[in-house]
Amino acid sequence: MDDIDYSLLKQMAVTIGEAAKITDIPIRKLRYWEDKGYIKSVEEQAHTTRRFDYYMVKKIVLMKELIEDGYTVEAASQKVEVRMGELRQVFDNLTRK
Amino acid sequence: MDDIDYSLLKQMAVTIGEAAKITDIPIRKLRYWEDKGYIKSVEEQAHTTRRFDYYMVKKIVLMKELIEDGYTVEAASQKVEVRMGELRQVFDNLTRK
DNA sequence: TAATAATTGGAGATTAGTTACAAAAGGAGT
DNA sequence: ACTCCTTTTGTAACTAATCTCCAATTATTA
């Protein structure tokens, strides 16, 4: 199996519509979650529209599972952050270059 | 390191504008390459606009290198396909589910 | 220089995404 | 039921992004 190019993966950020399709969460709800700070889109001055990278889409998927299991949005967000610790660090390090 | 979720990765398809930024190839040229069949966007009835998945963006990056090295677009496309054999199969298999 | 490959331009239309204001459900505790 | 807070949803008016289809231009090579 070819190794995944993490630097490239980091750049593969999808639109909110795409993220909504992938995660099966309404666009409107994703915007709300972002307003509340539970998720965040890629920050780039060049972008006038939102983009979500692999890490964030994965986070949304995991949050959804926890929420369906009874967790609040807030709690789900925190739990997922902890659980995804390693991947988050990889993505964070890639940003600082 | 967390393992990458290939099923999710497969779905992380970016717009043509995003692909253009990532690869530093003009949108217009990407459309031309697609017209000629050197690259192809995700086929989904739901999409009225183009989307390129990780495999295809990676292919574009590699094609670009070969072209800068003197290969024709056609030759670069073929060479990259061979070189990316394993990854292509992974993506192909994910499609058939 | 003729033929093919490769790239680029732009008009006019459509689709996707934005913010901002507001309203409606839902849940927990009193 | 009532209150407070969380969570979700609706919509209008606007901007950004992408689309197709026409064609023209610039290499490159026989």
Q: Is residue B22 part of a domain?
A: yes
User: Quick one: tokens of A65?
Assistant: 């599972």
Domain range for A46: 6-95
Q: Is residue B57 part of a domain?
A: yes
What CATH number did the domain enclosing B41 receive? 1.10.1660.10
- pLDDT digits over A27-61, tens only? 999 999 999 999 999 987 667 899 999 999 999 99
Q: Is residue B3 part of a domain?
A: no
* Number of domains, chain A: 1
Q: Is residue B23 part of a domain?
A: yes
Instruction: Yes or no: say if B15 and B51 are a contact pair by the CB < 8 Å rule.
Output: yes
- pLDDT digits over B15-43, tens only? 999 999 999 999 999 999 999 999 999 98
Distance, CA of B42 to CA of A85 (rounded, Å) = 31
Positions on chain C within 7 A of a protein C-beta: 5-10, 14-19
- Which DSSP state fits B54? H
Q: Is residue A1 part of a domain?
A: no
Nearest to A8 among B5, B57, B90 (CB): B57
Q: Is residue A32 part of a domain?
A: yes
Residue B64 has pLDDT above 90, yes or no: yes
- pLDDT digits over B42-51, tens only? 987 677 999 9
Q: Is residue B5 part of a domain?
A: no
User: Quick one: tokens of A4?
Assistant: 């995944």
Residue B32, CA distances (Å) to B20, B37, B78 in order? 13, 9, 17
Q: Is residue B19 part of a domain?
A: yes
Residues 11-70, chain A: which have Cβ under 7 A from strand C?
A: 15-18, 27, 31, 41, 48-50
